[in-house]
Amino acid sequence: MARSDRLAEYRSKRDPSRSGEPVGRGLGAGDGDRFVIQRHDASTLHFDFRLQVGDVLVSWAVPKGPSLDPADKRLATPTEDHPLDYAEFEGRIPEDEYGAGTVVVWDTGTYRNLTERRGEQVPIAEAVDGGHLLVWLDGRKLTGAFALTRMRGREQWLLVKRDDEGADRRRKPAVTQPESVLSGRTNEELAGE
């Protein structure tokens, strides 16, 4: 199935007239390779890790959020692809809608695909389909290499920080920096509006 066709699942779960979420119409591949991590306080608080792959954002839900400690292995569960304009979405999804809760853009920036096989770069879509990718994030809160690997025989993946200059075993941005990099607001502030 073409990646753009996967937006059918995204659209089938939402009523954008009620939720305010983007519908993703009329967007092409855009410029560059973007990533976004959204802090989503829904039935449980989690972080949605999204990478631009062509004309969609391929997405994983990370319950504990990304860690800068290479010793931490974060569970990452794939979710449906999202439209590119979701990368800037912040808001409060009403209680009776899918994903009800508040969403802020916790981090955003660009990424570089570092995935290789036998010394040759693997295209990012192929790396996702193959269950292993390595990307370098240039974000406002996160920088450096992160690996995403599907666990054998399971749908879950692991998100792990590589040991490089962006690694920091003491800094815990998922806990200490809850605010949006776009608006400066927290999920709690959005919920109170």
pLDDT in tens, the chain (193 residues): 454 477 889 989 998 888 999 977 544 555 569 999 999 999 999 999 999 999 899 999 999 999 999 999 999 999 999 999 999 999 999 999 999 999 999 999 999 999 999 999 999 999 999 999 999 999 999 999 999 999 988 889 999 999 999 999 999 999 999 999 999 999 999 998 8
Alpha-carbon dihedral angle through residues 191, 139, 159, 149, given to the nearest 10 degrees:
130
- Rounded CA separation 5/190 (Å): 32
Query: Could you state, in order of their start, the residue ranges of all structural domains in the chain?
Result: 3-15+29-191
- Rounded CA separation 101/134 (Å): 31
Nearest of 176, 179, 142, 178 to residue 162 by alpha carbon: 142
Entry pTM: 0.93
Q: Are strands 74-83 and 56-62 parallel, antiparallel or unpaired?
A: antiparallel
| Structure confidence by residue, pLDDT tens digits, 111-136 | 999 999 999 999 999 999 999 999 99
- Rounded CA separation 117/71 (Å): 24
Amino acid letter, 113: N
